[in-house]
Amino acid sequence: MDLPRRLDGEEPIYRQIYHGLREAIDVGRLAADDRLPSTRHLAVRLGVSRNVVLLAYAQLEAEGCVVGRLGSGTYVSRDLPERRLAPAPSRRGASPEPELSLSAFGRRLTGHDPAWTHEASGAARWDFTVGRLARADFPARDWQRALREAARSSNLEYAEPEGLTELRRLVLRYLTMSRGVVADLEQVVITTGMRQGYDLTLRLLVDPGERVVLEEPGFPPVAAWTTAHGAEVLRVDVDAEGLRPDSLAEIDRARLAYLTPSHQFPTGAILSLPRRVAVLDWARRAGCALFEDDYDAEFQYAVRPIPALQGLAPGSVIYAGSVAKVLSPALRIGYLVVPRGLVEAYRAVKRGADRQTSTLLQRALACFMADGSYERHLRRQRARYRARREALVGALEKTFGGDVLVRGVQAGLQVLVSFPELSANLEPTLVRRAESAGVRVEGAAACYASPPADSSLLLGFAAMSEAEIGEGIRRLADVVAEVTITTAR
Amino acid sequence: MDLPRRLDGEEPIYRQIYHGLREAIDVGRLAADDRLPSTRHLAVRLGVSRNVVLLAYAQLEAEGCVVGRLGSGTYVSRDLPERRLAPAPSRRGASPEPELSLSAFGRRLTGHDPAWTHEASGAARWDFTVGRLARADFPARDWQRALREAARSSNLEYAEPEGLTELRRLVLRYLTMSRGVVADLEQVVITTGMRQGYDLTLRLLVDPGERVVLEEPGFPPVAAWTTAHGAEVLRVDVDAEGLRPDSLAEIDRARLAYLTPSHQFPTGAILSLPRRVAVLDWARRAGCALFEDDYDAEFQYAVRPIPALQGLAPGSVIYAGSVAKVLSPALRIGYLVVPRGLVEAYRAVKRGADRQTSTLLQRALACFMADGSYERHLRRQRARYRARREALVGALEKTFGGDVLVRGVQAGLQVLVSFPELSANLEPTLVRRAESAGVRVEGAAACYASPPADSSLLLGFAAMSEAEIGEGIRRLADVVAEVTITTAR
């Protein structure tokens, strides 16, 4: 317990100790039943006589703030007297501290927080939140084993900023085999999740005022973050075949385009092969880098999975993936495959941004991949998600028939459902009433820069059983019917 | 195995498969003894007939690239024929990809990589590398228990960007009690290590072209990163009492000052109380934020530890700490205590930078702190480091006597030793010859913007036993003697 605000030495030492503890209790930094340090320990630490500390404790006890328990120590009282909630005002006349002002980036960020609804709230009864996975699916035993092995072998060593060679090799092999990625080992960088990959890329390639192309509609946090970065955001429409290259043609001087070719977010469109070629041609001519967010490419339900764009143009594409959809979004571990000419720059920016991704997590993931657990888990999940997707599509078909438009079913872990009967301004009502009925859904409006005509909902199906999915959709249908009737009156 | 470079369909499918695998082998993405996917599996995945895959494998086998093992599968051969090291040139006439150019930040970064010598190389026999901890000291059992508990309870849930409430509460209690930090819970932000804390702060408070004050000498990665950010770096001299406030007085329009008041890096000076008051007065008048890097404040050897600057001016100071010196620098988990007015901005910038720090690591650290393991480990380490520090100071005294200047012994895990007999230009020779003798030390010259007169070495003593420290210093003394004699000739 140090008492930094008493430097003048004018107040007796026991009062200083008393004030410090009293304030900690008043503002709740010390809570009911917390144990105070022993008087002997505190006296040694502060370099004062034990009597002085005893005096301070006695004063606190006299005021009912603490209670001594025989042979056990001194504890914060359960019944605190007239507890103040705000911190005590500073007692002597230090000049007031100035408000610190934000940088231009900080000010832009204030209006463009890269947050998204529901990202961290507790689960609902029928939870269609995008990105949520099922607890029961988590490969707890295999992951625990990997973690144990990792903790045994590596807590102390720094890794290189680009990550452990062992893990990068396993990631590259996986990406080569399953995603058609074409790269040398040095091009693989382990990140603290996909968002960091995009942030590092923005910083390395785009100056404030320069142009970045985003998909319309697109992933809201990326749009907010790109705007906060100071880039001029240009939006290119997406249709059933993905991004429209004819709209790209009109754009010049773009530095970066953020794309989700495998499963466009949120429409679920898969960028067609002719369009891939057109996009790459445009990027080459324009000297524009492409950021390929392959966020749920592990799950493709067509017979022949579409490989990554990166393999077609390894010098133009920054490929980004993570374990967010396979293991957990909360582990925060992902990877980039970057063009050869940018390897050194990525090493340096990663080093400055957070030095490296946790060695423990990297080693655990490496163990998990090396012993085949990753592939095994992936196979299991592919089967499960296929079944859940079919349950969802079936329930939507059965419940809504031709009244809704369902998109994005060929890949990934969510679909987009549009309600032509409900205009877009009803979307918030729909989402709110669904939540009241125990059904959590995400409205798609936030994904659009220019509001769409209809209400649309994103339905993630990864976290629920087939039965729950069916029941959730039935309840959602009731809500939709209710909103439709209410607004028809 | 996807084969993205074969889109035109002009080449037979088996050739496309063959080419994809052949290239993977040629560039080493598939290494000797790696197993190829089973032909059946690959055929299903690619949506082609199994015969086509068999044909491709046969071709590879004919060329000696792969070997079939009966009943076990097909493996990459140990004796690869005329293996190419570079990737095969692209085969058809795609237009060449452009070199991607860097942003202004990226270009500055190229000349200011925030790297520092030895950061990630293997251990030397007598290793005085700053920041290295002893493997044997790591509280493996308690940490494993915490990790197990964390993995049981939390792999899947997102946390808020500022971190788990439970962990933030424990960190705040610890900082209140041991560092005199004054803050409410909302002001605590969990980071992916100290570097991220500084990076987020730079971005939120400093625009390119604005002024940042650094200590001279100071921590090289921070200087490099600040320069790469585009800030104008102003350096303020440090003497035996720490930063000199008289030099500060001449500075106006500074936005941020990076300080190490508890144990100045690298001189080890502890900022005196009158100077603390002077620095805070200057910061208030100048409207300058102070970044307090309390990097090894857990280890103070004086009777009365100096509390953090933050407690004196919670509205002006961004306080940063981490578990790097207590547990491990490679875990990548730290914390900030930020002024109340900046809480929302930090939440937003953290969200964009990496969404949140790993929930698993946060929960593990919370378990480790909650059950008392953290405090227990800290107490143990304090005693150990006190003994090692005494061994080091004793060995330096005995070996060099009055020939060297030893600084920074009152706190932390390293000391700075200057050799008045050896001019600064001999420092690289000293470091190199010590390395050859098995003694790894860090030269201090990199910490200076204006080169000092003498050779100085940073000696970290955390990773070695007392006996090893003694032997390391004896061997270092031989090297110093040798360099002195050589250069006197």
Mean pLDDT of A100-129: 85
Tell me the average pLDDT of chain B.
Answer: 88
Quick check: helix, strand or coil at residue B341? helix
Kindly state the average pLDDT of the residues A317-339.
Answer: 95
3-state secondary structure of A370: helix
**pTM score, two decimals?**
0.83
* A330–B203 CB contact, under 8 Å: no
| A228–B47 C-beta distance less than 8 A | no
- Residue A189, pLDDT > 80, answer yes
**CA nearest to B339, candidates B299, B305, B291:** B291
Has the ipTM of the complex gone over 0.85?
A: no
Rounded distance, CA B197 to CA A159, Å? 19
Cβ of B360 within 8 Å of Cβ of A114? The answer is no
Lowest mean pLDDT, pick from B119-128, B134-143, B384-393: B119-128
Question: What is the predicted pLDDT for the residue at B84?
Answer: 34
Which residues of chain B does A298 touch, with a Cβ-Cβ cutoff of 8 Å?
none
pLDDT tens digit sequence for A215-226: 999 999 999 999
Q: Which of A374, A444, A378 is nearest to A406 (CA)?
A: A444
- The rounded mean pLDDT for chain A is 88
Q: Do the chains contact at A155 and B328, CB–CB below 8 Å?
A: yes
Instruction: Compute φ and ψ for B399, nearest 5 degrees.
Output: -85, -40
Cβ–Cβ under 8 Å, residues B106 and A129: no
| For residue B93, pLDDT beyond 60 | no
The shortest C-alpha distance from B342 to chain A (Å) reads 8
- pLDDT higher than threshold 80 for residue B13: no
Which of B46, B148, B354 lies closest to A193 in CB terms?
B354
Q: For residue B9, is pLDDT > 80?
A: no
Per the CB < 8 A criterion, the answer to whether A295 and A179 are in contact is no
Which among A160, A150, A163 is positioned nearest to A335, based on CA atoms? A163
Backbone angles phi, psi at B414, to 5 degrees: -150, 160
C-alpha angle with apex A351: B449 to B157, nearest 5 degrees?
Answer: 140
Per-residue pLDDT, B155: 60
Find chain A residues with C-beta within 8 A of B328's C-beta.
Answer: 155-156, 359
- Strand order of the β-sheet with B254-259 is B188-191, B334-337, B317-322, B289-293, B254-259, B211-216, B232-239, B242-243
Per residue in A242-300, pLDDT (tens digit) is: 999 999 988 999 999 999 999 999 999 999 989 999 999 999 999 999 999 999 989 98
Strands (E), A77-161: 126-127
Residue of B nearest to A37 (CA): B177
Say yes or no for a CB contact (<8 Å) between A307 and B331.
Answer: no
Strand ordering across the sheet containing B454-460: B405-407, B414-423, B454-460, B442-443
Chain A residues in contact with B285 (beta carbon < 8 A): 95
Alpha-carbon distance of A451 to A351, in angstroms, equals: 40
* pLDDT (tens digit per residue) in B242-261: 999 999 988 999 999 999 99
Closest Cα in chain A to B86: A184
What count of CB pairs under 8 Å joins A to B?
A: 375
Mark yes or no for CB contact A360/B361 under 8 Å: yes
- From chain A, the residues in CB contact with B151 under 8 A are 140, 143-144, 147
Higher confidence at residue B115 or residue B56? B115
Q: Which residue has the higher pLDDT, B164 or A34?
A: B164
A367-400 burial code (b ≥16 CB/10 A, e <16) = bbbeeebbeebbeebeebbeebbebbbebbeebb
> Which residues of A are less than 8 Å from B329 in CB distance?
156, 158, 355
Q: Which two tokens stand for residue B93?
A: 């006439």
What is the rounded CA–CA span in Å between residue B331 and residue B325? 11
Backbone angles phi, psi at B442, to 5 degrees: -110, 130
- Which of A158, A192, A255 is the closest to B330 by Cβ? A158
d(CA B203, CA B189): 16
* pLDDT band of B98, cuts 50, 70, 90: confident
For residue B12, what pLDDT is reported? 64
**Considering only A51-55, A400-404, B163-167, B312-316, which range has the smallest mean pLDDT?**
A51-55
Mean pLDDT of B117-138: 82
pLDDT(A4) > 60: no
Inter-chain touch A305–B45, beta carbons under 8 Å: yes
Encode pLDDT of B37-73 as tens digits.
888 888 877 877 777 787 778 777 766 678 887 678 8
The pLDDT score that the predictor gives to residue B357 is: 96
CB contact (8 A) between residue A204 and residue B105: yes
Please indicate whether, in this complex, the C-beta atoms of A180 and B2 are within 8 angstroms of each other. Answer: yes
Q: Does residue B8 carry a pLDDT above 50?
A: no
Q: Please report, as a single letter, which amino acid is at residue B465.
A: S
